[in-house]
Amino acid sequence: MVARKEPDRTTTGSNELSERIVIYTDGACRGNPGPGGWGAVLRFRDQEKRLHGGDPETTNNRMELLAVIRALEALRKPGQAIDLYSDSRYVLSGISEWLPNWKARGWKTSARKPVRNVELWQRLDELAAAHDIQWHWVKGHSGDPGNELADQLANLGIDELD
């Protein structure tokens, strides 16, 4: 683990920043569908963990979801306070807006079609329910160090497929 100090940020709730886990995630795909990768950066106090992986035939949306899933699976205990940053509107809209309706409709869209990537959404729903997560959107490729690192890791996941 690489030692890094996270910049001061205001948070909601009773947990101080030093007790929150900060996670950055990103997915990448070369062609859509095509070879894809996911990356995640987890930071807690002065520790940093970097994760990545790839799939030879996938979509960008699947890699975005898998990045969040793998990051949450890497946590050692439930009930963690997390600030999770993603540049994926698909993930953030899905978790905060669409998912409750999909569940109420038996994992069907408003058009009564099966939800795409349903197995990943169900896994993410299960993992997210075990933690106190504040979801944050960050503009991709805008110089945010955590997002840029997650993007590099996602691309490394693709590179290592060769």
- Average pLDDT, stretch 18-22? 87
The Cβ of residue 16 has, within 10 Å, a number of other Cβ atoms equal to 9
The Cβ of residue 22 has, within 10 Å, a number of other Cβ atoms equal to 20
CATH of the domain at 152: 3.30.420.10
pLDDT tens column, 34-90: 999 999 999 999 999 999 999 999 999 999 999 999 999 999 999 999 999 999 999
pLDDT exceeds cutoff 80 at 2: no
pLDDT exceeds cutoff 90 at 5: no
70 in a structural domain: yes
Vertex 71 angle, CA 121 and 51, to 5°: 130
pLDDT at 18: 54
90 in a structural domain: yes
Sign of CA dihedral 128, 129, 131, 133: positive
Q: Which domain holds residue 48?
A: 17-159
4 in a structural domain: no
Active-site residues, by number, are: 26-27, 64, 87, 141, 151
Sign of CA dihedral 95, 99, 100, 103: negative
pLDDT exceeds cutoff 60 at 16: no
39 in a structural domain: yes
- Average pLDDT, stretch 93-108? 96
- Average pLDDT, stretch 129-148? 96
pLDDT tens column, 101-133: 999 999 999 999 999 999 999 999 999 999 999
pLDDT exceeds cutoff 80 at 27: yes
pLDDT at 162: 78
pLDDT at 8: 35
Q: Distance (Å, rounded) from C-alpha 104 to C-alpha 113?
A: 13
pLDDT exceeds cutoff 70 at 152: yes
Nearest to 6, CA basis, from 20, 15, 14? 20
Q: Distance (Å, rounded) from C-alpha 51 to C-alpha 62?
A: 16
5 in a structural domain: no
125 in a structural domain: yes
State how many domains the chain has. 1
- 146 touches 85 (CB < 8 A): yes
6 in a structural domain: no
Which residues, in sequence order, are CB contacts of 38 under 8 Å at separation 6+? 25, 26, 27, 28, 52, 53, 54, 63, 64, 66, 67, 70, 153, 154, 157
The Cβ of residue 89 has, within 10 Å, a number of other Cβ atoms equal to 10
2 in a structural domain: no
- Which residue reads 């996911």 in tokens? 38
